[in-house]
Amino acid sequence: MTTLLRKLPPSIIALLLQLTAVMLVVMTLRLSSLHPAPLVAALFCGTLAAVLSHIAGMARWWLFIQFAFAPALVLMLALDMPPGFFLAAFLVMLAVYWSTFRTQVPLYLSSNKVWRALESKLPAEQPFTFIDLGSGIGGVLTHLAHTHPHGRYHGVEAAPLPFLWSWLRIKLRGCHNCSVHRGSLWDCDLSQYDVVFAYLSPVPMDALWNKARQEMRPGSLFISNTFAVPDHPPQESVTVDDLHRSTLHFWRM
């Protein structure tokens, strides 16, 4: 990615690459005098946008968005959906992916097998405190709150809809040793916790490691699902036999 692109937010980079792909495809079709169906042209645009995004070094999940955007737009227009549908879809996406464009941390959900793998790494009897940074819909928290009731569990989630889901999940399951609040993980004081768990993306891992090193107490445990810390190999890694072949990375501070 050029120096100029690196200074722009990922959402702006994605938009510029999408527009570039559209212009290149339109120019190519005009010069070749081809007249493909709108959906075929949209697939060309999406493929080119994804290729350009890969060359620009964007995260892999952006490549799917770039590929699907133009074809999805053509399909929705062809179905002649009412304007209210687009507004509702936008509001739902906004509630779920509230800060994704700014933070480059999409909504990842840990599998049940990851939950069970975490169990063996928690203190078996003595009390402890656990925080899930970017707790999503609360699966990790509520599972561990029941299997290890001697722990105290806290989650932080920025997106409104996942936060509401996790709050209701905790209340409905009666997890009295568990809580969640809506906010930024960067505002959390990690010195309060014995175990810090994160399932984010490659982008914030270096900054999160620096935060953990500054705030976490000696002897506390930092765990990352799937995403490692650049230039800081974990002391232990455990591969989980789930759909994504998730890997848990462990650092004893």
Rounded (5°) CA angle 245-251-253? 165
Is the dihedral angle over the CA atoms 167, 170, 171, 172 positive or is it negative?
A: positive
Q: CA dihedral in degrees (81, 82, 84, 88; nearest 10)?
A: -10
**In whole angstroms, how large is the CA radius of gyration of the chain?**
21
Q: 190-239, pLDDT tens digit by residue?
A: 999 999 999 988 878 899 999 999 999 999 999 999 899 989 999 999 99
Domain boundaries, the chain: 3-80, 112-252
- On the question of pLDDT at 28 being above 80, the answer is yes
- On the question of pLDDT at 158 being above 80, the answer is yes
Which two tokens mark 185? 């993980």
Tokens 């009666």 belong to residue: 174
User: In the chain, what percentage of residues exceed pLDDT 90?
Assistant: 45
User: Phi, psi at residue 154, to the nearest 5°?
Assistant: -140, 140
Q: How confident is the model at residue 243 (pLDDT cuts 50, 70, 90)?
A: confident
Closest CA relative to residue 190, chosen from 131, 138, 230, 248: 131
Closest CA relative to residue 60, chosen from 197, 201, 249: 201
137: helix, coil or strand? Answer: coil
201: helix, coil or strand? Answer: coil
More confident call, 58 vs 250: 250
> Crossing angle, helix 112-119 and helix 139-147, to 10 degrees?
40
- On the question of pLDDT at 51 being above 80, the answer is yes
- On the question of pLDDT at 12 being above 80, the answer is no
Q: How confident is the model at residue 1 (pLDDT cuts 50, 70, 90)?
A: very low
Question: Hey, what amino acid is at 164?
Answer: L
Global pTM?
Answer: 0.66
Pairwise CA distance, residues 176 & 142, whole Å: 10
> Strands (DSSP E) along the chain, which ranges?
128-133, 151-157, 178-182, 195-198, 221-225, 236-239, 247-252
* Per-residue pLDDT, 59: 66
Neighbours of 196 (CB within 10 A): 26
- On the question of pLDDT at 73 being above 60, the answer is yes
Q: How confident is the model at residue 78 (pLDDT cuts 50, 70, 90)?
A: confident
| 112-252 CATH fold | Rossmann fold (3.40.50)
